[in-house]
Amino acid sequence: MRIWMDGKLVEQQDAKVSVFDHGLLYGDGVFEGIRVYGGTIFQCQAHVDRLFDSARRIRLAIPLTKQEIVEAMHQALRANGLSEAYIRLVVTRGEGNLGLSPFLSPSPCIFIIPGQIQLYPPEMYEKGMAVIIAKTVRTAATMLDPSVKSLNYLNNIMAKIEAIDAGVPEAIMLNVQGHVAECTGDNIFTIKDGTAFTPPPPAGILIGITRGVVIKLAGRLGIPLAEKDLTPGDLYQADECFLTGTAAEVIAVTKIDDKVIGTGKPGPITNKLMAAFREFIRDSDQ
């Protein structure tokens, strides 16, 4: 594999960052995970816009234009002969010293990893998946802006460990008010009496790109949808539940903790949205 790194294509074993990089020392940086379908970078502009917005919010100046970032991603794909891929696009604060000050790191580090990802096995997309509600509480929006897709994922990782310990692949995180926020790597939707619900941004969520696509598709399909604070009780009583994310795409949840959701199988509205999402991917006007 060849990695695009600070303007050069290097072999995987040569793609290295300094031990003094603040991305490594403090999780100081931003990233995007991006799908590539049929050679097309999926929702490319939305991802690049979010990267720059995240960087702006933490006062990290990206030393490239948006178009240069897009071209760098294409270079990495061409260098590896990939038309179906998962891109990890990362901007760290760069090399500094052992102090916290970000202003002593004058040169951000940018790298692009063009690889593959399979978050969940294929059978889960057919049968649905079990999840838990984590005891780890989502970092409050007043502590860290959830719209920043930062390199500091320890909060999510602790909830992920809970899921793994419980023998399931994903965990739902509640916010400090006890409302549903999001999963460790995915946004969450429920269906009740034909209406789809998803937590609003103030609940402490990362506003997912795939989440936005699914909201748009629900509108096209005439499926009522509302952003609403959800409780664990709302989850347990839902007719259907599903997750969305760049790596996850759209996947049904059929069990939460010990509670079977709906019939215990992916529901009709979830299946309709999954099919619409696959069709959207094939659409050349993504």
For residue 121, the surrounding DSSP H or E stretch is: none
- Sheet of 40-41: strand order equals 8-11, 2-5, 109-115, 85-92, 29-37, 40-41
The position carrying tokens 């991917």 is 281
Among candidate residues 16, 66, 149, 160, the one labeled active-site is 149
Label each residue of 169-213 as H, E or C: CEEEEECCCCCEEEECCCEEEEEECCEEEECCHHHCCCCCHHHHH
Tokens matching residue 170? 């994903």
Active site residue 265: no
Tokens matching residue 286? 């993504």
Which residues are known to be catalytic? 149
